[in-house]
Chains A and B, each alone.
Chain A
Amino acid sequence: MNRDGAAKISCKGPKESLVRIGEPPVYWKSAEELQNGARPLGEFPGGLPGNSPSQQTEDTRRDFLAMMGFTFAAAGLAGCRAPVQNAVPLLTGSDEIVPGVSNFYATTCGGCPSACSLLVKQRDGRPIKIEGNDRSSLFGGTCATGQATVLSLYDGERLHGPLWKGQPVQWPVIDGQVRDALRAADKDKRPIVLLSGTITSPSTLHIIGEWKKRYPSFRHVVYDAVSLSAMRAANAASFGRAAIPHYLFDKARMIVGLEADFLGTWLSPVEFARQYASSRKPEGNFSTHVQFESGFSVTGSNADIRVPVAPSEMGAVALALLRRIGRYAGVTDVPDSTESFADSKKLDAIAEALWRHRGESLIVSGVQDLSVQMAVNALNSWLGNIGKTVDLARPSYQRAGDDAAMAELVEQMNRGEIHTLLLHGVNPAYDYAEPERFTQGLEKVALSISFSDRRDETSSRAHAICPDHHFLESWGDAEPVDSHFSLAQPLIAPLFNTRATAENLLAWLGIESGHHTFLRSFWRENIFPRQNERPDFESFWDRSLQDGVVVVPQKTAAPPVNAFHGDWKTAAHAIVNEPGRADDRYQLHFYESVALRDGRHANNPWLQELPDPISKVTWGNYAAVSPKLARKLGLSEGDVVSLKTEKGQMQIPVFLQPGQHEKSISVALGYGRKQVGKAGQDVGANAFPLRRQSTVNVTLEKTGRTVKLASTQRHFYMEGRPIILESTLKQVRMESAAAESGEALPSLWPEYPQGEHSWGLGIDLTACIGCSACVIACQAENNIPVVGKDQVQRIRAMHWIRVDRYYTGPEDCPASVHQPMMCQHCGHAPCETVCPVHATTTSSEGINQQVYNRCIGTRYCANNCPYKVRRFNWYNYTENAKFDFNMNSPLGRMVLNPDVVVRSRGVMEKCNLCVQRIQLAKNLALQGKRTLADGDIKTACQQACPTQAIVFGDLKDAHSRVAQLHRSQRQYKVLEELGTRPNVAYLKKIRNTTET
């Protein structure tokens, strides 16, 4: 049974299961201990004989062995015929680390510059699950990428130590080389440049400041692969502040988005998703959302009104609105421009609604174009949104990229002026618009040092690689939004011989005190004084470390935000006079995919296998074209086409995307990595090089080749079936508040005996934005294997929760709905009666339980499941060379959740409502001598959901949130008419079409 699965992990003695893991982590109970090494226990007064500090690392290393030994051994050994099994306890006991008990620590996500605050589950010394930090005032829940970062920690492709000219060396060697180089550069005033992605860490920025002081010729260039520099420039011109404003979608009643996927990838999706959902409650306030976009984005899929617009027409959209709002605001000289993209009535209505909600409306644009951003700024200020929904006084630091500076740097490099180049969190050789230009420049640099954690396109060309920690291994802090601070603390001692970038920067400044000490002193001097809750620093520090987040009053000396004084007229004319596009050509639209973002996570198999929220395609990108265009050109799905711009061209398969603007072709960035690791190598095609010049004149040619896209959903229309019920705000408001009581259909089956609880889910389809964070959360929590492209093509993806997405309405501009679909835990489950061996039954608490070790794999249950949520293990996905993903290496298997069995070949599996969490909660209640309270248990999907669309709880407790949802007037159950009596209720999808 599971013998072949989990046992293979557990059968290993602690030793051999570790040899390949590299330098195992140090156990630490507190900040101090991590610094000074483990100290003997209080209960052991004299200290252990021979427990001298010199032996500390050795000692703790053995502790780790001991722990691992214990966990692995205790994980069970049914399959091993020989019952001999070792249990190796800690040598020195610990009052915090109890084998088998998980601890949670707050930290900050390093998945992207949004710097969400996290709570990380650490089990037996290993971080194994990432959760959102509810203490945070900005964030809640996570995104799919954030969830998956825990797997990147156990990525075998990470470097095991520093490299000098490709050769492994010790840190002192590197330090020596770098110090000499810096000295040399400093002597003859040659520029030293730190090229980094957006850095939200105030302490690191402080260090960089120190560098500026120490080396006059030092310069810091910030480069984002997908940058918002145009917006920064526009804000500088409009408000005298080159910053990204902090948007407040929750304060907006009328939201207009221009090519800004703010729910999926743009700026700070988790934060925005949370705000967005909170502003769209059918029972309370419900904002209106209009989205103008060319491709079909997650955000567009949630809009009340979505208008497909060619990328080149975004300016025109802004102008059209500007003109109308201008009339209201008494500005009449807004130049005319084309309005072919939408009928003027609609635009009038939108403008009218905007004006009606002035002060509580919001227009955001993701268009990387100064004049468009200027127009948007004008709009927001005329509508009086500045300071209300657009906060520039407390700006966001989540994107600081400066394209101009980057371009200049590349020129300098090519002129051979740059002496030393430090690369941190960037990969220009892959994602810069002109990669070869950058690489040529890189060769002319005297000393190039990359802090990348692996050999990637850029770091492999650098002289030295000083691998950075994974963020779960390092200290740190972040200030995503002005005066909103969050701390990061290590969850595990570095797996490899790596060093934090901040540590390096300090070391090369000659500050040897170490990063942690510096961080503390920085906080003591800069953050602690700004608050007045805690009198002494220690308690402030501990509290901050525990909560992970601190909000302090704003600096008094914040630069003032001037009123809008931007020159919108020139911008408007620039838009009007923009060179039009040839009509026989097409326009390229680039976007970040929800899973891979800008490509930095390409080697994460969880993310590679995460279905795109809209197309449901996994393992690769594609050129999304409208069905109309496809018919015109005789293209069908999977046909490989070559897209040609003036300079570049790429070959990529076609995907037919309803709602795609017929003149535009959308391509996801972040794919086609050349050097990243076995999972991400050459998956999809790299679109970055095509961004080098205008993308409005693109030709498309068939190559004749076809490839099969690996999609997890192949049929996108509901065929008129009552699967997702929709309604408009008006209807809901008019309907009587009394819920139409869903009278249970008569049944021949006896009612099941019910225990104390009846667990169930309530899922609000209005709140669900389809971001798919729940999918990865479930995968991480329940040890769900990655099966690879071929198996996905064969319809064998293993995700327990999937987000179904259906289109309604016309093909050229359909509305779309997302529906998280997992086991419905039917009271009268069809799967149950047909299983010959009782491997699936309904528990006394209403869970449809799947017993892996009883299952003999007839697949009858899956056939008879109307929801098709059951997943069969067609092969062994663990320790199987054919499936060489994280489950095939001891390192990758460290992420497994010891409380959930690893399923083996021939076994059916499915969602079991995170029963391990239920059991744990019961146990904790028992330990606390109390009864379970509502909210004690959160399923993985619920915890991850940024919009709180999923609610778990006890249906027997009338006051529980889930019970209330089940009584809601929007409540319905999928395929109820079959008499399955699901314990999962859905709340109707509501659209607000009343406003316009």
Chain B
Amino acid sequence: MDLAGGGLKALLMGRRFLVVAVLALGLGGLLAGWELSRVGVHQGYAPAQPIAFPHKVHAGDNKIPCLYCHYAARTSRHAGIPPASVCMNCHTLLEKQTVEIEKLKEAVQEQRPIKWIKVHNLPDFVYFNHSQHVLSGVACQRCHGAVEQMDRVQQMSPLTMGWCLECHREHAHIATADFQRVMQDMTHRPVPVAGLDCTSCHY
């Protein structure tokens, strides 16, 4: 008898082998699928910044409104990282000195722009406009999480298309009925509408 062949035969014919093989394949497939689905998703990304700026202290403890520093978010597609001059608005007057504040003042004195690290990155084929959302009354925390409690900013949301659409689907009520239109004309206030068209974000 041909041992190798026989062994092989036994192995192939054995039920246990089949069960194990099927299970292994199944699990492997699931794992691979999950991994693939996370490609390009950087949820939880929290890089160390050149100056360890604590949002907790500013937005949380001292209750500085988000839009005081990120004023561009009102008018621009970019929320904008505040110019050092904005920081200095307060920090020229405040005595408190820490190593990090020193870094800031140093940068200002040397006229050296600060190279912050961007935390929330969207693909370049997505057009996201901050002002559109801010003016429509979307709270910053809705996407950025409770930044006022973060010492180091972290990407809370997955920033996937599906995630965007969840919210957009909620708010996609368009004033189609005449009554709504009339109301809109009377108040002269457009009802903010979350677009579901591709071109709401892709162009």
Complex: A in contact with B (CB within 8 Å): yes
Q: Which residues of A contact B (CB under 8 A)?
A: 1-3, 6-7, 10, 40-41, 43-44, 46, 48-51, 55, 58-59, 62-63, 65-66, 69-70, 73-79, 83-94, 98-101, 754-756, 841, 843-845, 847, 849, 851-854, 899-901, 912, 915-916, 919, 922-923, 925-927, 929-932
Given contacts A76-B126, A929-B189, contact A101 B75 (CB under 8 A): yes
- Complex Cα distance, B202 from A900, in Å, reads 9
Q: Which residues of B contact A (CB under 8 A)?
A: 40, 42, 45, 47, 72, 74-78, 80-86, 88-89, 92, 105, 107-118, 121-127, 129, 131-132, 135-136, 174-176, 184-185, 188-190, 192-193, 195-200, 202-203
- Complex Cα distance, B195 from A843, in Å, reads 10
CB of B110 to closest CB in A, whole Å: 8
Given contacts A87-B116, A844-B196, contact A930 B174 (CB under 8 A): no
A88 contacts B116, CB within 8 Å? yes
B113 contacts A88, CB within 8 Å? yes
- Complex Cα distance, B9 from A523, in Å, reads 101
B108 contacts A48, CB within 8 Å? yes
B124 contacts A10, CB within 8 Å? yes
A843 contacts B113, CB within 8 Å? no
- Complex Cα distance, B186 from A161, in Å, reads 60
Given contacts A83-B42, A90-B83, A926-B136, contact A912 B76 (CB under 8 A): no
A49 contacts B109, CB within 8 Å? yes
CB of A59 to closest CB in B, whole Å: 5
A2 contacts B124, CB within 8 Å? yes
- Complex Cα distance, B72 from A927, in Å, reads 13
Which 5 A-B pairs have CB atoms at the shortest separation, nearest pair first?
A76-B124, A78-B123, A93-B83, A843-B197, A853-B125
- Complex Cα distance, B160 from A285, in Å, reads 58
B108 contacts A912, CB within 8 Å? no
B116 contacts A89, CB within 8 Å? yes
B109 contacts A91, CB within 8 Å? no
A98 contacts B123, CB within 8 Å? no
CB of A20 to closest CB in B, whole Å: 20
Total A-B contacts with CB atoms under 8 angstroms apart: 214
B124 contacts A79, CB within 8 Å? yes
- B118, B184, B185: residue with the most chain A Cβ atoms closer than 10 Å: B118
Q: Which residues on the A side are within 8 Å of B185 (C-beta)?
A: 931
B111 contacts A62, CB within 8 Å? yes
Chain A interface helix/strand/loop/mixed: loop
Given B72, B84, B88, B92, which contacts A98 in the complex, CB threshold below 8 Å?
B72
B199 contacts A849, CB within 8 Å? yes
Given contacts A48-B88, A931-B190, contact A91 B76 (CB under 8 A): no
A6 contacts B188, CB within 8 Å? no
Please give me the residue from chain A that is nearest to B132 by CB atom: A923
CB of A759 to closest CB in B, whole Å: 10
- Complex Cα distance, B114 from A90, in Å, reads 9
A919 contacts B129, CB within 8 Å? yes
CB of A909 to closest CB in B, whole Å: 10
A44 contacts B89, CB within 8 Å? yes
Q: Which residues on the B side are within 8 Å of A84 (C-beta)?
A: 47, 117
A85 contacts B76, CB within 8 Å? no
Please give me the residue from chain A that is nearest to B83 by CB atom: A93
Please give me the residue from chain B that is nearest to A899 by CB atom: B127
A916 contacts B82, CB within 8 Å? no
CB of B77 to closest CB in A, whole Å: 4
B197 contacts A845, CB within 8 Å? yes
Q: Which residues on the B side are within 8 Å of A73 (C-beta)?
A: 118
Please give me the residue from chain B that is nearest to A838 by CB atom: B198
Q: Which residues on the B side are within 8 Å of A6 (C-beta)?
A: 124-125
A853 contacts B202, CB within 8 Å? yes
B115 contacts A83, CB within 8 Å? no
Given B81, B125, B198, which contacts A841 in the complex, CB threshold below 8 Å?
B198
Given B45, B82, B125, which contacts A93 in the complex, CB threshold below 8 Å?
B82
- B112, B116, B175: residue with the most chain A Cβ atoms closer than 10 Å: B116
Given B78, B123, B175, B197, which contacts A100 in the complex, CB threshold below 8 Å?
B78
CB of B83 to closest CB in A, whole Å: 4
Q: Which residues on the A side are within 8 Å of B109 (C-beta)?
A: 49-50
Known: A86-B118, A901-B127. 17 other contacts (CB 8 A): A3-B124, A44-B89, A46-B92, A62-B113, A73-B118, A85-B117, A88-B115, A90-B85, A98-B75, A100-B72, A100-B77, A100-B80, A755-B176, A843-B197, A844-B174, A847-B197, A926-B190
Please give me the residue from chain B that is nearest to A920 by CB atom: B129
Can you list 11 A-B pairs with a CB-CB distance of less than 8 A?
A50-B110, A58-B111, A69-B115, A70-B80, A78-B125, A91-B84, A845-B197, A854-B202, A919-B199, A927-B74, A930-B188
Q: Which residues on the A side are within 8 Å of B121 (C-beta)?
A: 76-78, 83, 85
- Complex Cα distance, B199 from A161, in Å, reads 44
Given contacts A93-B85, A756-B193, contact A852 B125 (CB under 8 A): yes
B124 contacts A89, CB within 8 Å? no
- Complex Cα distance, B125 from A900, in Å, reads 9
Q: Which residues on the A side are within 8 Å of B175 (C-beta)?
A: 756
Given B88, B122, B127, B184, which contacts A931 in the complex, CB threshold below 8 Å?
B184
Q: Which residues on the A side are within 8 Å of B110 (C-beta)?
A: 50
- Complex Cα distance, B91 from A44, in Å, reads 11
- Complex Cα distance, B75 from A926, in Å, reads 10
CB of B192 to closest CB in A, whole Å: 7
Given contacts A73-B118, A926-B192, contact A7 B124 (CB under 8 A): yes
- Complex Cα distance, B71 from A43, in Å, reads 13
- Complex Cα distance, B188 from A73, in Å, reads 37
Q: Which residues on the A side are within 8 Å of B47 (C-beta)?
A: 84
A900 contacts B203, CB within 8 Å? yes
Q: Which residues on the A side are within 8 Å of B81 (C-beta)?
A: 70, 87, 89
A851 contacts B198, CB within 8 Å? yes
- Complex Cα distance, B129 from A922, in Å, reads 11
CB of A153 to closest CB in B, whole Å: 24
CB of B190 to closest CB in A, whole Å: 5
Please give me the residue from chain B that is nearest to A59 by CB atom: B111
- Complex Cα distance, B172 from A843, in Å, reads 13
B84 contacts A89, CB within 8 Å? yes
CB of A65 to closest CB in B, whole Å: 7
CB of B187 to closest CB in A, whole Å: 9
- Complex Cα distance, B196 from A100, in Å, reads 23
B131 contacts A927, CB within 8 Å? yes
- Complex Cα distance, B112 from A90, in Å, reads 10
Please give me the residue from chain B that is nearest to A52 by CB atom: B111
Please give me the residue from chain B that is nearest to A58 by CB atom: B111
Given A3, A7, A83, A926, which contacts B45 in the complex, CB threshold below 8 Å?
A83
CB of B4 to closest CB in A, whole Å: 46
Given contacts A91-B84, A98-B76, contact A86 B116 (CB under 8 A): yes
- Complex Cα distance, B117 from A69, in Å, reads 11
Q: Which residues on the B side are within 8 Å of A85 (C-beta)?
A: 117-118, 121
Q: Which residues on the B side are within 8 Å of A841 (C-beta)?
A: 198
Q: Which residues on the B side are within 8 Å of A83 (C-beta)?
A: 42, 45, 121
Please give me the residue from chain B that is nearest to A916 by CB atom: B203
CB of A707 to closest CB in B, whole Å: 39
Please give me the residue from chain B that is nearest to A900 by CB atom: B203
- Complex Cα distance, B154 from A755, in Å, reads 37
Q: Which residues on the A side are within 8 Å of B107 (C-beta)?
A: 91
- Complex Cα distance, B137 from A410, in Å, reads 71
Given contacts A41-B85, A851-B202, contact A49 B126 (CB under 8 A): no
Q: Which residues on the A side are within 8 Å of B88 (C-beta)?
A: 44, 48
B127 contacts A91, CB within 8 Å? no
Q: Which residues on the A side are within 8 Å of B132 (C-beta)?
A: 919, 922-923, 926
Given contacts A2-B124, A93-B82, A93-B83, contact A99 B131 (CB under 8 A): no
- Complex Cα distance, B116 from A70, in Å, reads 10
- Complex Cα distance, B45 from A84, in Å, reads 10
- Complex Cα distance, B139 from A447, in Å, reads 68
Q: Which residues on the A side are within 8 Å of B112 (C-beta)?
A: 62, 91
- Complex Cα distance, B84 from A48, in Å, reads 10
Q: Which residues on the B side are within 8 Å of A852 (C-beta)?
A: 125, 202
B42 contacts A89, CB within 8 Å? no
A48 contacts B85, CB within 8 Å? yes
Given contacts A50-B109, A76-B122, contact A88 B75 (CB under 8 A): no
B116 contacts A843, CB within 8 Å? no
